[in-house]
Amino acid sequence: MSNPDTRSAAPARTGVRTLRHELPVTLGVIAAAGALIAVFSGDSFTLNILATAFLFAGLATAWNIIGGLGGQFSLGHSVFFAIGAFTVANIYLKLQISPWLAIVPAAVFSALLGALISWPVFRLRGPFFAIATMAMTEVLLSLSLYFDTFTGGSRGISIPFRLGVQNMIFRDRMSYALLMLGFLAICLLVMAAVTRSRLGYALQAVRDNEDAALAAGIDVLRTKLTGMAISAALTGVGGVLYMMYVRVADPPTLFSLFDIGVKIALIALIGGIGTVYGPLLGALLIVPLENYLRAELGGSVPGANLIVLGVVLMLTALFLRHGVMGALRAGALRLFGARA
């Protein structure tokens, strides 16, 4: 059982949770997520939802590195998602190289682009930063429609169905669920490692107070850029997997502000911003709910699913300031709290 509140209930007097303490918990959570796949192994409908949930859990976890820990509320992460998707499409279709090998260049391109476009934007703070990242999404969408040799333009890209592990194309839903679980596992491990490192502390210090961080010798810009690069790299990998999962995508879908950029921030927010496991909880809540609402209400009352999601977000903002994860921690502290 992990400590209910890692901050206020430090094990020893100077006991801080290091990665060595965190790792068993992370691996346990990954195993539990894997167990979900095992439970629904025969049910391809549910496996499909799980695959999407794990993909978005991974994306929200990646977002959380810069958005939650670093406090830089990006709504433009769809840019890195799209870069990953375009990278794999070009490498696989034009160069006939396995999608697996596209993962590394996709991560590198996304990280570089993340650092490059954040450089000017990081001068802005709070809501201004968020608005600038939204504007960035629109700019890059327009550019991608123009440079259609790489992006397929408004026609989009479609990847032919050629079965094979080397092509990252599978017939059964189970394989995709496992693929997305692998992505989620990497994101969780990276997030855990960052949280329990000097960089994680620097990101939190920058989030809390930039002047105090500077006075403590922290290079604020470099810290933000590093956090953004790691976050963008993982998001790019998510884009690779998504492209190979759906096999048909156009720039407006990949750059979608609501379906990608805002959604991953929302999932992290609802699950527990800045926490390691919150985004996974958020995704397991939101993705199935969204699927259900779209199926039940999407046909009869168009847009009703969005209204319900909006209400969920408002309730979270009002009653669960620290997300589901924060509420669970507070509950556990009340039940087992040893502190007087």
Interface residue list for another protein (CB under 8 A): 7-10, 13-16, 18, 196-198, 201-202, 204-205, 207-209, 211-220
Q: How far is the CB of 25 from another protein (least distance, A)?
A: 16
Using DSSP bridges, classify how beta strands 248-249 and 157-158 pair: parallel, antiparallel or unpaired.
antiparallel
By beta-carbon proximity to another protein, the closer residue of 13 and 334 is 13
The CA distance from 311 to 309, in Å, is 5
By beta-carbon proximity to another protein, the closer residue of 94 and 321 is 321
Nearby residues of 42 by Cβ (< 8 Å), 6 or more positions away:
none
CA distances 82 to 151, 231, 257, 274, Å, are 9, 14, 11, 24
By beta-carbon proximity to another protein, the closer residue of 185 and 205 is 205
DSSP letter for 164, please. B
Q: How far is the CB of 110 from another protein (least distance, A)?
A: 27
Three-state SS string over 196-244 comes to: CCHHHHHHHHHHHCHHHHHHCCCCHHHHHHHHHHHHHHHHHHHHHHHHH
By beta-carbon proximity to another protein, the closer residue of 17 and 247 is 17
Q: What are residue 164's DSSP bridge partners?
A: 169
By beta-carbon proximity to another protein, the closer residue of 207 and 329 is 207
* Three-class secondary structure of residue 78 per DSSP: helix
The amino acid at residue 123 is R
Cα 170 → chain centroid? 24
Q: How far is the CB of 165 from another protein (least distance, A)?
A: 40
Torsion (CA) 52, 58, 61, 63 in degrees, nearest 10: -80
By beta-carbon proximity to another protein, the closer residue of 42 and 211 is 211
Terminal CA-to-CA distance of the chain, rounded, Å? Answer: 21
By beta-carbon proximity to another protein, the closer residue of 6 and 90 is 6
Q: How far is the CB of 230 from another protein (least distance, A)?
A: 18
The CA distance from 257 to 138, in Å, is 9
Q: How far is the CB of 208 from another protein (least distance, A)?
A: 4
By beta-carbon proximity to another protein, the closer residue of 13 and 171 is 13
CB atoms within 10 A of CB 331: 12
Within 13 Å, how many C-alpha atoms sit on residue 316's CB side?
A: 22
Query: How many residues appear in the chain?
Result: 340
